[in-house]
Amino acid sequence: MGGGRALDMGDRERASRTNLSGIWTCRLWSVIVSVALFWSFPSCSATPEADALLRLASSWGRLFPTWMGSDPCIQWEGVTCSAKQVVELNLSASGLTGPISPAIGQLTSLIRLDLSNNAITGPIPSELALLQNLQVLNFYRNPLNASFSMEILQLKNLIELRYDVAGITGHLPEGISKLNKLEILFLGNNSFVGPLPARSLGSLINLQQLTLWGSQFKSPLPPEFGNLVNLQYLNMHTSTFWGGLPPSWSNMKSIRRMLIYNNDLTGYIPDSWKALTTLRELHIGQNTLSGPFPEWIVNIPIEKLEMSRNSFQGPIPELSMTMPLLNATRTNISLYCNYFNGSYPAFQLGGLVNITGNCFANESTRETDNTRNICNRQFFCRDFYMRLEAGCAPCPAGNYIYDDLSICTCKPADYVEPYGGGRNGFAYGAVIGGVVGSLAMVVLLVALCRWDPIHKRLPFDPFSLFISNDDDEEWDVPEGVHRFTMAELSKATGNFDKQHEIGAGGFGKVFYGTLADGKMVAIKRASTSGLQGQIEFRNEVNLLSRLHHRHLVRLEGFCDEHDLQILVYEYMKNGNLGEHIARAKEGKVLEWYKRLEIAVGIAQGLDYLHSFADPPVIHRDIKPTNILLDEYMVAKVADFGISKATPEFDTHISTRPAGTAGYLDPEYFLRRQLTTASDVYGYGVLLLEIITGQQAIDHSRKEEFNLIEWVRPRFRERGIEAVVDVALDGNYDKEVFTDMTNVALMCASFNKNDRPAMKDVVSYLEPHVRAFQRSGTNSEAHSRSLMRGCDLERLTSSGQNSDDPSSSIQFMTMPLRTAGMDYSPFITRRPDTMP
């Protein structure tokens, strides 16, 4: 019994020691866990600035691995400190999405804040106004999609504000004048509307750089900008500015670059501008400016002078390399598409000066120019005018001449002076009263029409007449088209990083991306200035979802979050056709039979759009860069972002062209109509490029700039050898390429009735591909039983309309069928069912 008792006491002692050991082990682990928690959650004991930064990162769903510890001044990514205060936060291109947290207001020592190239959305929190030390603020390239933030106007120490490509809408506030320390103000490529706060902007006398391009200001150029004596760079292109060039701008004595092209500007270049001796680039093209060439320009060493596509008249001064204007050999002067006259200039400056499309007396007129006068107008020039109004060129559409007729300035007919003022004492009060009275009468009449004493109706709301919620209606996403989120596409493209950018088109910029499943796609993100309405965008998605053909680039999906408009297409590994034609100069030659296959593939794609799409589609911009090649070098027609559907096959579109110089139907300038024959014309030019390896318009081709006019006489007089791409080095089927050239020239006929339909083109060219595929050689065993020149001439000999779906089918398809061969040119199965 004693032994047992002794054993029991020993067990108790051992148990006691075990318990004590467990207690100490537990305490040790508690200390370790506490330390770990301390370092894992720095906000518990972090500085207020560190806490604010962590809350910012959290609101954007972004984890920065280096943001550890309690002191943001110790190697935190994107954070710069001075005197242990955060003075700079640079999170450019960091994949940030969503709004800015109010915690931004705690970083009161910030001097520089760069949030550019992200997917941050608006509105900006009011706490931003607390950053009174801020000197540099950069919101460039974020989909803020909000009005101008009033909080920014309270940052009185701002020196640099980059608020461009950010989807800013509405009016630019008058309060911008409060930022009187600004030296750089970038507001370009937003969606501002007028009027422009001219006095406020003109008061920012410290400005050195100012951009206002890509909005809809519909304002005259502000004379107040003459106060900006320190301004060096001014960019106001494509913003619907009208009226004349302000003489007061001659006070901008520091200006080096001035870009005001593609507006509705009229009148003469002020003689006072001769004081702008610091100018190195002047771009005033694509307006309706007139008057003589300003001779004082030759005394300024401008490196780029762009005056093309205006209405300038009179002779051009004789130029020589000794003049300051041409003192720098890189000087580029564009004067094309004006009305300069007199003797053709005798100067020989090579490619430095472009003077085509003018009215020089001793320059021959081509019949294809169809001007019936001494002016050698190019197809891509604006409309030719045959008369002067009071000595002035005609105003742009919807404008009329006003002010001093000696300078020929125009203004919009519907323009209303801001602030209730008017040069002619216009009775705005009477107009407003009349409008209000008329509106009341309309509401009353509609109410009476809707009133029914017999049947009970819901109460009539007069304001419902002016409210539309169409944009907010739910819609059924087309089957087979994926609706991507902005987060998916942002991740796929590295937040639309510039390294992912592969091009730009009529719709906007194009990026390549890799989706979560590894699939590569091409993503077209609309530019802010090019955004269309939500209903129009959805209609376009619906249209594209119905177009399925082996030779059309397939639509994979879209994204319409935050009012963005993004289209997602299949990715084409081998880029565009233009790149491959150009590579012939680098020794990377596209083989002749591959050129034939590409030409036929393009024709099949266009024929599908014209004949089988419902409704039929006119592409309107056929050119090499809109033809993409997949990994097997299969050609696919792309860029339907500017395509238009026609309700009937033989309808036309009466609108401004969306094409490209060199490929645009010349008949458009006569009849203001784009038809399926317009696509045929563009295809003809494209086919000539495939055959010759040359560009549609090439000013270095001294014999003839226009490819059609270069090919036609050479081909007729000396045959295919005189025009075929020299890079092929004779390795091509001469008969096939001869036939291709004949087809190309017919497609590029000036008269649309002389052009074949795309179905005819396919029927003629596709058998060449089939014969080559059967022979397995470079066409040595090519079947010569196919129709030849006499049949080719019959394509247009009957004078049939190429827009008629039934025309020319019989003689184009029947001979092939009777030969026992099926040459059906159309592939209507979905791409995923193709063998």
- Both 628 and 774 in one domain: the answer is yes
Tokens of 282: 């002047």
Cβ neighbours of residue 18 under 8 Å, at least 6 residues apart?
Answer: none
Flag whether pLDDT at 446 surpasses 70. no
Domain boundary among the residues 570, 599, 620 is at: 570
In which domain, by residue range, is 493 found? 471-478+487-570
- pLDDT at position 171 is 95
HSE of 132 in the Cβ direction (CA atoms, 13 Å)? 1
**Residue showing tokens 């090439």:** 698
- Both 559 and 603 in one domain: the answer is no
- Both 607 and 698 in one domain: the answer is yes
Tokens of 350: 């090579």
Residue 552 dihedral angles phi and psi, to the nearest 5°: -125, 140
- Both 558 and 612 in one domain: the answer is no
- Both 695 and 559 in one domain: the answer is no
- Both 649 and 732 in one domain: the answer is yes
Please report whether residue 614 resides in a domain.
yes
Q: What is the DSSP letter of 208?
A: S
Q: Greater confidence, 346 or 805?
A: 346
Q: Residue 312 is inside which H or E element, if any?
A: strand 311-314
- pLDDT tens, position by position, 547-594: 888 899 988 999 887 667 888 999 998 989 988 887 655 567 899 999
- pLDDT at position 761 is 93
- pLDDT at position 323 is 81
Domain boundary among the residues 570, 600, 620 is at: 570
pLDDT-wise least confident of 34-38, 554-558, 677-681? 34-38
- pLDDT tens, position by position, 167-217: 999 999 999 999 999 999 999 999 999 899 999 999 999 999 999 998 989
Active-site annotation holds for 383: no
- Both 539 and 651 in one domain: the answer is no
**CATH code for the domain in which residue 497 is found:** 3.30.200.20
> Of the candidates 353, 257, 357, which has an alpha carbon nearest to the alpha carbon of residue 309?
357
**CATH code for the domain in which residue 657 is found:** 1.10.510.10
Predicted confidence band of residue 431 (pLDDT cuts 50, 70, 90): very low
Q: Is the peptide bond before 647 cis (omega within 30 degrees of 0)?
A: no
Please report whether residue 101 resides in a domain.
no
- Both 679 and 803 in one domain: the answer is yes
Please report whether residue 5 resides in a domain.
no
- pLDDT at position 584 is 57
- Both 534 and 598 in one domain: the answer is no
First to last CA, the chain: 94
- pLDDT at position 475 is 66
Predicted confidence band of residue 776 (pLDDT cuts 50, 70, 90): low
Structural contact between residues 525 and 509, judged by C-beta atoms closer than 8 angstroms: yes
- Both 510 and 626 in one domain: the answer is no
* One-character DSSP codes across 107-168: -TT-SEEE--SSEE-SPPPGGGGG-TT--EEE--S----SBPPGGGGG-TT-SEEE--SS--
- pLDDT tens, position by position, 225-261: 999 999 999 999 989 999 999 999 999 999 999 999 9
pLDDT-wise least confident of 179-188, 222-231, 680-689, 765-774? 765-774
Highest mean pLDDT among 294-298, 405-409, 648-652: 294-298
Residue 435 vs residues 159, 418, 421: alpha-carbon distances, Å: 44, 17, 18
Domain boundary among the residues 543, 570, 597 is at: 570
**How far is Cα 374 from Cα 128, in angstroms, rounded to an integer?**
63
Tokens of 129: 């106004």
Largest distance between two CA atoms of the chain: 138
> Of the candidates 694, 746, 56, 468, which has an alpha carbon nearest to the alpha carbon of residue 702?
694
Pick the catalytic residue: 264, 621, 725, 803?
A: 621
The annotation status of 524 as a binding-site residue, yes or no, is: yes
Global pTM?
Answer: 0.51
Predicted confidence band of residue 818 (pLDDT cuts 50, 70, 90): very low
**How far is Cα 411 from Cα 402, in angstroms, rounded to an integer?**
7
Please report whether residue 596 resides in a domain.
yes
Please report whether residue 94 resides in a domain.
no
Number of folded domains that form the chain: 2
> Of the candidates 401, 552, 576, 558, which has an alpha carbon nearest to the alpha carbon of residue 480?
558
Tokens of 800: 């049939």
Decide: residue 306, CB within 10 A, 0-12 exposed, 13-18 middle, 19+ buried: buried
- Both 627 and 726 in one domain: the answer is yes
- Both 707 and 795 in one domain: the answer is yes
Please report whether residue 556 resides in a domain.
yes
Strands 501-504 and 508-514: antiparallel
Structural contact between residues 305 and 282, judged by C-beta atoms closer than 8 angstroms: yes
- pLDDT at position 675 is 84
- pLDDT tens, position by position, 126-158: 999 999 999 999 999 999 999 999 999 999 999
Angle between the 592-611 and 676-692 helix axes, to the nearest 10 degrees? 180
Please report whether residue 109 resides in a domain.
no
Please report whether residue 807 resides in a domain.
yes
